[in-house]
Amino acid sequence: MVSCDKDFEEVNKNPNSPEQVPSSLLLPNIIRNAASESAGQAWGIGNVVMQYTAKIQFTNEDRYNWGPEGDPYNIYYNSLRDVNNVIEISGELGENNYVGVALVVKSLMYAFMTDAYGNLPYTEATSAKEEINYPKFDSQEVIYEGIIQDLELANEILGTSTESVDGDILFQGDLMKWKKFANSLRLRALLRISDKKDPTAGMQEIVSNPTQFPIFEGNEDNAALQHLQDVPNQHALYTTRSGSFDEYRLSTTVESYLKGMKDNRLYAYFQPTNNSGAGLIGEEEDYAGVPNGLADEDAVGYSPTGDPELGGSNHISRVGVFFSCLACSDDASPIGYQSLFMTYSEVQFILAEAKEKGYIETGDAATYYENGIRSSFDYYESRLRVANLGEIADVLQPEESYFTQNSVEYSGSSEEKLEKIGTQKWLSLFFNGLEGWFDWRRTGIPEINPGPAAYISTVPVRFMYPTGVQALNKQNYLDAVAAQGEDRITTRVWWDVE
């Protein structure tokens, strides 16, 4: 009872477990987690629900038998604690560059989550240190206001301090690229909510002043995490088992568009069927897809020709060797593939739509549109060469006749032009997180229909909240459901106007 307590707090600090670490040590894991989750969601849900790929076994995702989704909710909120730590630590030190980077990543994560779930803890999130253990859910409108404000602030403060941004595995400390990313993300956010709030002033402000508000100017600016040979920086598919990789095949939906337009991205996105014997690359007829939303027994034996003797996995195209796991192909490369957050191609399509709808006065919609298409082809050609897949890269670029065909040429009514923008944007967003799904929910382009064995008659428009949220933050969860609508995959989020 009378024992000494001198230096008690110092003695009980574990030198091997510091209570505070510098931002440079937090940043790599934050970026890596964001990229891994985005790539994982693209593979498991995004590619399937947007019918780039279809499943030939374990088809529940493809049939919309979706339950509560634990991620990205859990992964991103865990990472957002470290994002807040970077903002607090570097803010106190006057390290505005770190704070700006953290604000961009914070905006990226919250946009991804709110587009997936809708209302979320935001203003009170990650506030356990302030003894807020049961954060309220904010409306999506409030969340997007915060996202846009944070991106504006990031653009304003990046470059206003002198510290180098160590630990930046995305842009290697290039602050101009972070500014471009911030403003490009703001264009995406403004367009996302454009059916609810007029984006004209915000979008025009950005495009009319590129010195103050720089945006992506080419594929060299893409927000794309470069993966490496060794852990922990390998890409998400490289270490997966071949059986899991083989569950996902070419969807007949995207097949019809790629073949119908003679689009050579078919050869980058998918492989010739085993039965064709074509090797790395074949003729158009060597690629065959499977419809989405089949029952397991129908999917595993599906025959593209209708001949049951020519059915099964050997007759259906796998996802491209460019994306393969190590065990899936001797040609798989761990350094060719990147996890995409946002591309120059997407920005060009955003600007094309904005110009066509009159949101911006700057530039030419047709030029933006063609830039978006060409940069998508250019990106995959360059990455295939990095991955030593020159045989595919050599045939990737389209002939000029590609751009003059009726389905591609920027002509027709405004509605027809917007459909062409949406279709080409969809084709370019292959394997880009859930962005294809988010954008489709806003535009309805292209036409996506549930498969014959789907559990519901419409394409899902959100994720259900994780079961842990219901258990651990029940009252706030119930308040969110009361405000937003039933916790179902058919309930539209705020910006998703029917």
Contact status, residue 133 vs residue 117, Cβ threshold 8 Å: no
Cβ-based neighbours of 318, under 8 Å, separated by 6 or more: 245, 246, 248, 249, 250, 270, 271, 324, 328
- In-domain check, residue 417: yes
The answer on pLDDT for 19 being more than 80 is no
- In-domain check, residue 452: yes
- In-domain check, residue 212: yes
Cβ-based neighbours of 405, under 8 Å, separated by 6 or more: 261, 262
The answer on pLDDT for 3 being more than 70 is no
HSE-CB at 91 with a 13 A cutoff on CA atoms is 11
Question: Residue 299 is inside which H or E element, if any?
Answer: helix 296-300
Q: Using CA atoms, how far apart are residues 183 and 175, in angstroms rounded to an integer?
A: 13
User: What does the mean pLDDT of the chain come to?
Assistant: 93
Contact status, residue 138 vs residue 479, Cβ threshold 8 Å: no
Residue with tokens 């806003």: 442
Contact status, residue 443 vs residue 497, Cβ threshold 8 Å: no
- In-domain check, residue 489: no
- List, as one string, the DSSP characters of 124-184: TTT-GGGT--SPPEEPHHHHHHHHHHHHHHHHHHTTSS----TT-TTTTT-HHHHHHHHHH
- In-domain check, residue 306: no
The answer on pLDDT for 17 being more than 50 is no
Q: Using CA atoms, how far apart are residues 148 and 104, in angstroms rounded to an integer?
A: 10
- In-domain check, residue 117: yes
Tens digit of each residue's pLDDT (9 = 90 or more) over 416-428? 999 999 999 999 9
> What's 455's domain CATH number?
1.25.40.390
Tens digit of each residue's pLDDT (9 = 90 or more) over 346-380? 999 999 999 999 999 999 999 999 999 999 999 99
Q: Using CA atoms, how far apart are residues 15 and 220, in angstroms rounded to an integer?
A: 42
Tokens of 126: 């990650």
| pLDDT category of residue 334 using cuts at 50, 70 and 90 | low
- Per-residue pLDDT, 1: 44
**SS3 letters for 357-425?**
HCCCCCCCHHHHHHHHHHHHHHHHHHHHHHCCCHHHHCCCCCCHHHHHCCCCCCCCCHHHHHHHHHHHH
The answer on pLDDT for 261 being more than 70 is yes
**SS3 letters for 54-105?**
EECCCCCHHHCCCCECCCCHHHHHHHHHHHHHHHHHHHHHCCHHHHHHHHHH
Tokens of 388: 């030593």
Tokens of 150: 């944070």
Residue predicted with more confidence, 341 or 245: 341
The answer on pLDDT for 340 being more than 60 is yes
The answer on pLDDT for 242 being more than 90 is no
The answer on pLDDT for 5 being more than 60 is no
Contact status, residue 289 vs residue 240, Cβ threshold 8 Å: no
Q: How many domains does the chain have?
A: 1
Structural domain range at position 358: 23-238+333-484
| Proportion of the chain above pLDDT 70, given as a percent | 95
- In-domain check, residue 66: yes
Kindly state the average pLDDT of the residues 158-184: 97
Peptide bond connecting 72 to the previous residue in cis, omega within 30 degrees of 0: yes
The answer on pLDDT for 8 being more than 60 is no
- In-domain check, residue 295: no
